[in-house]
Amino acid sequence: GQNIDQPTEMTATEGAIVQINCTYQTSGFNGLFWYQQHAGEAPTFLSYNVLDGLEEKGRFSSFLSRSKGYSYLLLKELQMKDSASYLCAVRDRYNQGGKLIFGQGTELSVKP
């Protein structure tokens, strides 16, 4: 089966750096996605990793280690508007034709 774990909640200070971890177990890994979701709104795409290493996009970076079944999302220079839920999702080619499996999300609170 598949399993995705990420912390339920995290708190950080404005201007700081925060790392949100995601571990997964899947038999046919075929890519990992990070989404940001503000309360009551749709998830918006942040990043995609399919090979090991770091992908950087402005203040956000995402890292993947396939051998460890591990990813993290790094947010730098935190702003109040970064307070949101961050969803880790994995594509498994053996699961319903490669559909996404989502973790429960990590609720990030940014304090002044």
Partner 1 sequence: DGGITQSPKYLFRKEGQNVTLSCEQNLNHDAMYWYRQDPGQGLRLIYYSQIVNDFQKGDIAEGYSVSREKKESFPLTVTSAQKNPTAFYLCASSTATGEETQYFGPGTRLLVL
Binding residues for partner 1, rule: CB under 8 A, are: 4, 8, 30-31, 33, 35, 40-45, 48, 50, 87, 89, 96-97, 99-105
To the nearest whole angstrom, how small is the minimum distance from the Cβ of residue 55 to partner 1? Answer: 13
Query: Contact 25/90 with Cβ under 8 angstroms?
Result: no
To the nearest whole angstrom, how small is the minimum distance from the Cβ of residue 19 to partner 1? Answer: 20
Whichever of 31 and 74 has its CB closer to partner 1, that residue is 31
